[in-house]
Structure 1
Amino acid sequence: MKTQDKIRAIRTQQKISQEQMAERLDLTPQAYSKMESGKTKLSLDRIQQIAQILNIDVTELIHNNDNGVFLLINENCTNENLNNGAIIYHGNQQSINEQELKHDNEKMQLIITHKDEIIEQLKQENALLKQMLNLLNTQQTNQ
């Protein structure tokens, strides 16, 4: 079942009209109708908003039941903000665009490289701080 079909099914099961959903999403009823019918592509942010309104987990809307791939990667893994920059794939193996995967793989490699650079910088900073601490301790014992 497609994401928009799941949204429609859950919305009608919960007896929420398209107009009510549109209002809660700050959309026109026509824009919401296009989204639910698949004429407008759903963004991750919009899917998260819809899941929140329907009081369900995002994965319930996105996950396929056709033994396909479901992958959610968070690019900005910081404690302050865990939901930025998610990448989602769902569908069977053949439906995943190879170029998208290559592009996202390159992005992830850059993120890993950047992380490694930050770790190295922090190690150097840590070593410098240890040296400063040793100097301060030496000065205190000499006084």
Structure 2
Amino acid sequence: MSLGTKLKQLRQNKNWSQADVAYKLDVSQPAYNKWETDQTKPSLDNLGKIAEAFEIEIQDLFANEGNVIISNNTFENSNIVYPKDSTVNIQSPELLQSILKNQEQISKLMENQSKLIEKLLKK
């Protein structure tokens, strides 16, 4: 089952229109329609919003699909570090390592920010 088919099924199970879902996700109805008709794929941020709106886990959006392939344009507006010239398997160990690396970097930045704030408060 494609992601678009899954989105349509989830929407219909809730008795929502495409406009209803688009409003909940803060996207246009035509943009949502493109996801539901598999013309485009939602970004990672929008996948999170979709899962939240339908009260499911993100991986449930891809159930019954086996390995899910997402093109790099899905990652363009995110901070995920990954080679731009390759296709990403969402279940790949490389992607998980990349996410973990990003999380470590975020943690270090937050730690440094906390230290800086402490120093500023002491002045």
Normalising by the residue count of structure 2, what TM-score does the alignment of the two structures yield? 0.54
| Shift >4 Å, 4+ stretches | none
Identify, as 1 or 2, the structure richer in strand: 1
Query: Where in structure 1 are there 5+ consecutive unaligned residues?
Result: 72-83, 88-98, 119-143
> Which gives a bigger RCO, structure 1 or 2 (Cα 8 Å, sep 6+)?
2
**Whole-angstrom CA distance in 2 between matches of 1:52 and 1:86:** 25
Residue equivalent to 2:67: 69
RMSD (Å), alpha carbons: 3.6
Q: CA deviation at 1:70?
A: 6.0
The corresponding residue for 2:9 is 9
> CA–CA distance in 2 between the matches of 1:59 and 1:86?
21
How many residues align? The count is: 86
User: Shift of residue 41 of structure 1?
Assistant: 2.0
Paired position in structure 2 for 1:29: 29
Calculate percent identity across the aligned residue pairs: 29
Distance 1:86 1:41 in 2: 19
User: What stretches of structure 2 of length at least 5 have no aligned partner?
Assistant: 70-78, 109-123
Q: Residues 33 and 58 from structure 1, CA distance in 2 versus in 1: closer, same or farther, beyond 3 angstroms?
A: same
| Higher Cα radius of gyration | 1
The one-character-per-residue Cα deviations of 1:66-101 (angstroms, maximum 9, x if unpaired) are 5x3369xxxxxxxxxxxx7498xxxxxxxxxxx436
